[in-house]
Amino acid sequence: LKSSINIKPKIVIHCQYVYGIGHFVRTIELAKGLSNYFSIFILNGGESVPNFDIPSEINLIQLPAIYKEENVSYLSPVESIYSIEECFKKRSDIIENTLSNLKPEIIITEHFPFGLLFEDEVVHLISSAKSLNSNVKVVCSVRDIIESSSGSIKDNITVQHLNNCYDLLLIHGDEKYFHLKNTFSLYNEISVPNYHTGYIVKSIELNTKSEHSKPILLASIAGGRLGKELLNALIKNHSAVNKQIIHKLIIFTGAFDSCFEELRDEIKKLSSNDIELFAFDRESYLSYFSQSDLVISLGGYNSIIESISNRKRLLVYQREFAQGNEEQDLRINLFKEMGVLNVISSKDLNNSNLADSIIQSLNNDIYRNVNLNVNGVAFSTELITKLNKGL
């Protein structure tokens, strides 16, 4: 633990993801802003993300990681030598030791209590933090959309946790597009102070390219546990697209997938110099993003907001998820209606529709500025700083 912990007030952030890495990316960006005023400690319960630079001022404490397969309802430890019960016990010990050593002034829970998969763990974390420091403040940090527009019994539990345990609710979205009341039916029963902060998005410096260089298509599947079929389809359709628009296809495999060798072998069969394949690497991806003419993704929070806020052409593979994905669908559909992205579905992957959609997207004019509020880091930092000062 770094020496700065004795100087600045301390924040412990609980971050958990079971599929992709959206929660993690958002947490790191928020932590960067907060680190100017606080000592930051992140309890990371998702699988460790490779090739993702963590600033030295942020202390990342990796818990024994837990994930979830798409088609099952139960959680699994990433390290299969442990049972899930053993995994939670080890996590609990690390959390207890961290809180005991730090006695933080602020606890931030990412997504909880809007997601209740880790309810026992996070409730215990909050309770322990309060027993060690009765003045500790508790903050919920959540994305723009909650998958509960029609309501469920779990919503009552969420509201009880917020009203009983929390001091502040930060909703990282733009309320002129998505207000929490539209996707969380019990919004009006939340008594804790709450704010729509604007989106949390990394500031990306865009590079201008030569007029004579080939268009760059940038494709990725972020976490990569889901969506490999998109990358396979892009490789198979590369020649068809190249006949109409000569371009460079840059593909990034996911952080947690195992399809790199399979894709590399498929690319070799094409004998093309216009495809490059990379394993997941956040900084390398952003470097290509800054030069890209078209971004192709699964349409998660980060890939959509990064693309729209930087006025990038965007083609989204609107994948069907085994257990539904109302959150992602709502966001994709809204921005599609606004004309700032195009969409393909699974039925488009294995026919000429994919090539046609790519060409159409490349030929689109640069999308208009939708005046998206992306001030989420700065406003969240301001609100948390005021909370800590008792303002």
- Give yes or no for a contact between 363 and 333, defined as CB atoms under 8 angstroms apart: no
Token match 């009983």: residue? 164
Same domain, 105 and 228: no
Domain that holds residue 353: 216-363
* 391 residues of the chain, pLDDT tens digit each: 554 455 899 999 999 999 889 999 999 999 999 999 999 999 999 999 999 999 999 999 999 999 998 788 899 999 999 999 999 999 999 999 999 999 999 999 999 999 999 999 999 999 999 999 999 999 999 999 997 656 678 999 999 999 999 999 999 999 999 999 999 999 999 999 999 999 999 999 887 765 558 999 999 998 767 889 999 999 999 999 999 999 999 999 999 988 899 999 999 999 899 999 999 999 999 999 999 999 999 999 999 999 999 999 999 999 887 666 788 999 999 999 999 999 999 999 987 899 999 999 998 876 667 899 999 999 999 999 999 999 7
Asked whether residue 86 is assigned to any structural domain, the reply reads yes
CA-closest candidate to residue 42, choices 29, 192, 169, 385: 29
Same domain, 48 and 194: yes
CATH number at residue 55: 3.40.50.2000
Same domain, 228 and 253: yes
- Give yes or no for a contact between 110 and 31, defined as CB atoms under 8 angstroms apart: no
Same domain, 220 and 191: no
What is the residue type of 112?
F
Question: φ and ψ at 195, to 5 degrees?
Answer: -140, 140
Same domain, 165 and 20: yes
Asked whether residue 119 is assigned to any structural domain, the reply reads yes
Residue 35 to residues 7, 104, 230, 313, Cα–Cα distance (Å): 12, 14, 37, 33
The whole-model pTM stands at 0.94
Same domain, 167 and 280: no
Same domain, 229 and 167: no
Asked whether residue 211 is assigned to any structural domain, the reply reads no
Same domain, 229 and 89: no
- State how beta strands 66-67 and 216-220 pair: unpaired
Same domain, 144 and 239: no
Asked whether residue 102 is assigned to any structural domain, the reply reads yes
In the chain, how many domains are there? 2
Same domain, 57 and 167: yes
Asked whether residue 285 is assigned to any structural domain, the reply reads yes
- pLDDT for the residue 322: 64
CA-to-CA distance for 295 and 282, rounded, in angstroms?
Answer: 15
Query: What is the SS3 assignment for 15?
Result: strand
- pLDDT for the residue 150: 61
Same domain, 56 and 170: yes
Asked whether residue 124 is assigned to any structural domain, the reply reads yes
CA-to-CA distance for 286 and 205, rounded, in angstroms?
Answer: 9
Query: What is the SS3 assignment for 124?
Result: helix
Asked whether residue 209 is assigned to any structural domain, the reply reads no
378: CB partners within 8 A, 6+ apart: 33
Same domain, 73 and 110: yes
Asked whether residue 148 is assigned to any structural domain, the reply reads yes
